[in-house]
Amino acid sequence: MPAVVLCSALTACGGGSGGGASVPVAALPPAAGSSASTATPASPSTPLSLAAQVGARMFVDQTLSGSGKMSCATCHDPDSAYGPPNDLSVQLGGTQLNRSGTRAVPSLRYKDVTPPYADLLDNPDGISVPGPGGGFTWDGRAPTLAAQAQIPLLDPNEMANASAADVVARLQAGPYAGLFKQAFGADAFADTNAAFQNARNALQAYQLEDPSFHPYSSKFDLYAGNKIGGNLTVAEARGLKVFANPNTGNCASCHYQGAGLNGSSALFTDFSYEAIGVPRNTAIPANADPSHFDIGICGPLRTDHPPAPGNTFCGMFKAPTLRNVALRQSFFHNGVMHSLEQVIRFYNTRDTLPELWYPTVGGTPRATPDAGFPTYGLITTQYTGGTVKKYDDLPPTFVSNIDTQLPMDGRAAHSTPPMSEQDITDLICFLKTLTDGYKPPATAPTSGACIQ
């Protein structure tokens, strides 16, 4: 298998307020009351357990929400690699689908081997010192997929059930209550707490068992397995080198190739946490309060690491997998960026051109920017004078927690960035090879942006 290493935390979360999506299995599980005892196959060789069949039903069931119009698949769309189907920074939910979340929605793909969170988790690269790692959600507060499933079901900004009892009552009144009993026993609804735990276990079983959650079907997988159709183009191969090179992209420092399911090829995350000073997203309603800060491991959604001075974890968010990153339409924990190119340019110029990413205070806006003033940043107005308010979404107390690994190494403003224009183009080409569902063309192309 070719050796490989990978790049930065480029993903965010989101959701959607639209209808449910179809389950990516060959056919849905038996309806309530069916006498069928065998699982419906997700593929010719991969049956689903009864618990996973329940989870498959739950995943697309809009009646499990307070609004009656939102399911897991609303925000985790199977056709969008189980990520959001839109470019919203955060999604709308609640009983009237009018409440805004505070974080972007991540993809649910490739979560099957994620370890529970630990302050000192061994890094799978075998080189880096132990540090914060593992867990589910952007701050790792859920130790398992089953625990993570509870969060959206009960969150007032998401599926907005008032209690676990509400979820159980909706399940008991639903069309697959009989299947639930087949999976968990004739008295499965007798104990509300046990029934709610089984419901969460069902969603976890579905995500662990159904191969659509970890298909390993990208061009990179063909390349890593030395299979026909997996030859990288010249540009993609250069991009892989940028990804791995500690002096340019250095993506591998957080997106190491840790082994996947049953020894499958790279996961493109090392489960670690970093503070990189992502710009504040003023489109999130909660951020209208200048005293509100989302500082990841230190809260506000996680409460076991209080944001006291000296807490080195404050501002850290989980590095997600880069698989299917080219399909995403919003990036980072707050969804502040909306293109893969913009994210890579942020990594490259956060320090050398901070005025493109953070607000300038006290300056005079120019009516016409200089001819060479870049337009790819979040800030497209050029200022004369003033001070760039760098790291504007992190309390000053915790600025010392910012990671200084390349390409964000704190180099001087207006100095040369680590990656060249060619590096950026090539890196994007490589990251596109991580998109699942790749079908090798009958004839290899000889021209195009990602060929030579």
Domain boundaries, the chain: 1-12+214-452, 41-104+144-213
Q: DSSP letter for 62, please.
A: G
Closest listed residue to residue 260, CA positions, set 108, 113, 81: 113
pTM value > 0.85: yes
Q: Give the angle 103-284-294 at the CA atoms, nearest 5°.
A: 50
Q: What is the pLDDT of residue 123?
A: 84
Residues 6 or more apart whose CB falls under 8 angstroms from that of 259 comprise: 113, 124, 265, 266, 267
CATH number for the segment(s) 41-104+144-213: 1.10.760.10
Q: What is the pLDDT of residue 46?
A: 65
Is domain 1-12+214-452 annotated with CATH 1.10.760.10? yes
**Whether the Cβ atoms of residue 104 and residue 330 lie closer than 8 Å to each other:** yes
Cα–Cα dist 9/7, whole Å: 7
User: Which residues are paired to 133 by β-bridges?
Assistant: 118, 272
Mean pLDDT per 10-residue run, the chain (452 residues)?
A: 37 31 30 29 66 98 98 98 98 98 97 96 84 97 98 98 98 98 98 98 98 97 93 97 96 77 75 97 97 98 97 98 98 98 98 98 96 96 98 98 96 98 98 97 90 94
As a whole number of angstroms, the distance between CA 345 and CA 134 comes to: 27
**3 state DSSP class of 97:** coil
Positive or negative, the CA dihedral 80, 104, 160, 54 is positive
- Report pLDDT for 117: 98
